[in-house]
């Protein structure tokens, strides 16, 4: 393992890595809603501020140029211990834990802080993270305070730990961190930026601001079509195997959708998450009229509409889509005719985000994604390629599938077209590379976005994948 200082340009990748680690470490400790809402852009801004003011150093741990660890340390921001050195964050990829890498990096960080003149070292950690606390205790730290920290809408207990220097009194030792070289460089950068800002501001207020207002107001209607289709609902009434479903989840929301039961036996289940113009009744009607149930042989099939779709109340948003996906799984797994050990998540287009999130947070047996994306920025930029840098802050529907793919350990099938005009093929490829296991990746040529399921061989591949899951 190689350890090197991170530069300013490395901090965005560091922010993404730290967010991924948080979701892995705290998935059963912190609420899914808070973890899902974490944004590497927000963490990146905080890291940049610390870098520019010289209060923190940043290390990257690499294995053949692959980022497998990150650390942030420097001046303490912990109340009551402002004169200590603080290890704000140290994380390793889960595959490298327990091999001595964490110990080696931690000892080197402690020495780096002592070299800066810090006699006492402090850190804090969520109290429920017993593994981390045991690690720090073994390295000579002692618990000195118990506090609370607010994350989202909830508060969580926080443990503060401290390690005293050999000659230090129980008070903060005055020290000075030499940040002069960095401040001098910052002064030069500030002058250059000031000239640029004066020029750019004229453009911003006369052109960009009105555009931003329009983009913010219009983007939800571009993403969510709030489809209803009562005709298809009427078409399915009374037909054998088709059942309207309704349930109230633990969050108090009532969800509606449609289920097709292959038989009266206990059977595996496909939970389908549709595209932005799909609704459950239309989707199941299409399966019926195009004789597609043969490809789902032996499986029940469930499609619960997003908020604002079908007869559901509300308005869809990627966060309530994620929340709903977990509620749908929990509802379906408890049905007496569903084999809860063989539930497959299937998503198309917009719905691939919900399916990926579900696979990262529930024990699904398989994951099928048709025209998936790595994140919402790729979708926006495919329409209007301006959402880079600060402009990314305008994107409301972040749809960060890339954050959840590494936590999905089930078999994965991805179907993507190089001719997809809506979701870039490169985005599907990037997502593919983030799954930890092998991915069955089916590439199509000369097939448009809305014609994916009409392409030759697609449903044959779906049928083969489902048969493999059912046989396990």
pLDDT tens-place string over residues 427-467: 999 999 999 999 999 999 999 999 999 999 999 999 999 99
In b/e form, how buried is each residue of 326-365, taking b as 16+ CB within 10 angstroms? bbbbebbbebeebbeebbbbbbbbbbbbbbbbbbbbbebb
Residues 298 and 384 in one domain: yes
Residues 121 and 240 in one domain: no
In this prediction, residues 207-235 reach a mean pLDDT of 79
Q: Which of 36-40, 53-57, 152-156, 269-273 has the lowest mean pLDDT?
A: 36-40
- For 62, the domain range is 2-164
Counting residues of the chain whose pLDDT is more than 70, the rounded percentage is: 89
Q: How many residues does the chain have?
A: 472
Residues 186 and 83 in one domain: no
pLDDT of amino acid 209? 66
* Residue pLDDT, tens place only, 24-71: 888 889 888 888 888 888 899 999 999 999 999 999 999 888 899 999
Residues 124 and 203 in one domain: no
CATH code at 323? 3.40.50.1820
Is 222 a domain residue?
A: no
Residues 137 and 258 in one domain: no
Q: Looking at the predicted structure, is the pLDDT value of residue 293 above 80?
A: yes
Residues 190 and 101 in one domain: no
Predicted confidence band of residue 203 (pLDDT cuts 50, 70, 90): low
Q: Looking at the predicted structure, is the pLDDT value of residue 174 above 60?
A: no
In this prediction, residues 293-300 reach a mean pLDDT of 96
Cβ atoms of 242 and 267 within 8 Å: the answer is no
In b/e form, how buried is each residue of 118-142, taking b as 16+ CB within 10 angstroms? bbbbbbbbbbbbeebbebbeeeebe
Is 324 a domain residue?
A: yes
Q: When comparing pLDDT for 97 and 323, which is higher?
A: 323
Predicted confidence band of residue 175 (pLDDT cuts 50, 70, 90): very low
Is 126 a domain residue?
A: yes
The sign of the torsion formed by the CA atoms of 63, 361, 458, 222 equals negative
> What is the C-alpha radius of gyration for the chain, rounded to an integer number of angstroms?
25
Predicted confidence band of residue 113 (pLDDT cuts 50, 70, 90): very high
DSSP state of 99: S
Q: Looking at the predicted structure, is the pLDDT value of residue 185 above 80?
A: no
Residues 208 and 278 in one domain: no
pLDDT of amino acid 440? 97
Is 169 a domain residue?
A: no
Q: Looking at the predicted structure, is the pLDDT value of residue 468 above 90?
A: yes
Residues 210 and 241 in one domain: no
Predicted confidence band of residue 188 (pLDDT cuts 50, 70, 90): low
Residues 321 and 457 in one domain: yes
Q: Which of 32-41, 60-69, 312-321, 392-401 has the lowest mean pLDDT?
A: 32-41
Is 153 a domain residue?
A: yes
Q: Domain count for the chain, please give it.
A: 3
pLDDT of amino acid 173? 39
In this prediction, residues 267-296 reach a mean pLDDT of 96
Cβ atoms of 456 and 353 within 8 Å: the answer is no
Q: Which span out of 156-160, 186-190, 201-205, 468-472 was modeled with the highest average pLDDT? A: 156-160
How far apart (Å, rounded) are the C-alpha atoms in residues 44 and 186? 18
Is 16 a domain residue?
A: yes
Q: Looking at the predicted structure, is the pLDDT value of residue 186 above 60?
A: no
Is 392 a domain residue?
A: yes
Q: How far is CA 406 from CA 31, 46, 102, 403, 431, in A?
A: 19, 24, 21, 7, 9
Residues 382 and 459 in one domain: yes
Is 225 a domain residue?
A: no
How far apart (Å, rounded) are the C-alpha atoms in residues 155 and 118? 31
Could you tell me which residues come within 8 angstroms of residue 381 by beta carbon, excluding any fewer than 6 positions away? Answer: 387, 388
Residues 184 and 118 in one domain: no
Residues 367 and 449 in one domain: yes
In this prediction, residues 299-321 reach a mean pLDDT of 96
């Amino acid at each position: 393992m190689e350890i090197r200082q991170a530069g300013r340009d490395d901090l965005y990748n560091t922010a993404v890595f730290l967010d991924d680690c948080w979701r892995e470490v705290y998935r059963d400790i912190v609420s899914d809603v808070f973890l899902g809402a974490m944004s590497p852009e927000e963490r990146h801004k905080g890291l940049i501020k610390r870098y520019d003011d010289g209060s923190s150093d940043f290390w990257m741990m690499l294995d053949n140029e692959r980022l497998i660890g990150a650390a942030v340390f420097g001046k303490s921001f912990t109340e009551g211990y402002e004169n200590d050195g603080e290890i704000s964050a140290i994380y390793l990829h889960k595959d490298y834990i327990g091999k001595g890498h964490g110990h080696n990096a931690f000892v080197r960080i402690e020495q780096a802080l002592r070299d800066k003149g810090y006699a006492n070292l402090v850190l804090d950690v969520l109290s429920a993270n017993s593994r981390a606390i045991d690690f720090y205790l073994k390295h000579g730290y002692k618990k000195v305070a118990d506090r609370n920290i607010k994350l989202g809408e909830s508060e969580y207990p926080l443990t503060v730990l401290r390690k005293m220097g050999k000659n230090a009194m129980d008070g903060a030792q005055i020290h000075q961190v030499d940040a002069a070289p960095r401040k001098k460089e910052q002064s030069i950068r500030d002058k250059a930026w000031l000239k640029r800002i004066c020029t750019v501001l004229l453009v911003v207020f006369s052109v960009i601001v009105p555009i931003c207002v329009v983009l913010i107001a219009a983007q939800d209607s571009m993403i969510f079509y709030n489809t209803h289709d009562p005709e298809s609902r009427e078409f399915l009434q009374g037909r054998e195997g088709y059942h309207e479903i309704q349930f109230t989840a633990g969050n108090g929301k009532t969800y509606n959708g449609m289920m097709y039961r292959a038989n009266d036996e206990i059977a595996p289940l496909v939970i389908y998450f549709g595209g932005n113009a799909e609704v459950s009744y239309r989707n199941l009607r299409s399966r019926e009229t195009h004789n597609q149930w043969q490809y789902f042989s032996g499986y029940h099939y469930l499609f619960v509409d997003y908020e604002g779709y079908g007869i559901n109340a509300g308005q869809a948003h990627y966060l309530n889509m994620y929340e709903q996906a977990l509620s749908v799984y929990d509802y379906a797994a408890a049905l007496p005719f569903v084999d809860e050990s063989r539930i497959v998540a299937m998503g198309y287009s917009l719905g691939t985000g919900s399916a990926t999130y579900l696979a990262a947070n529930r024990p699904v047996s398989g994951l099928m994604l048709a025209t998936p994306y790595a994140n919402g920025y790729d979708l926006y930029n495919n329409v209007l390629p301006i959402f880079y840098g600060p402009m990314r802050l305008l994107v409301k529907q972040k749809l960060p599938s890339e954050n959840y793919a590494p936590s999905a350990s089930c078999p994965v099938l991805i179907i993507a077209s190089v001719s997809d005009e809506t979701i870039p093929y490169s985005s599907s490829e990037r997502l593919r590379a983030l799954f930890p296991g092998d991915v069955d990746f089916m590439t199509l040529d000369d097939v448009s976005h809305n014609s994916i399921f009409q392409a030759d061989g697609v449903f044959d591949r779906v049928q083969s994948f489902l048969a493999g899951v059912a046989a396990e």
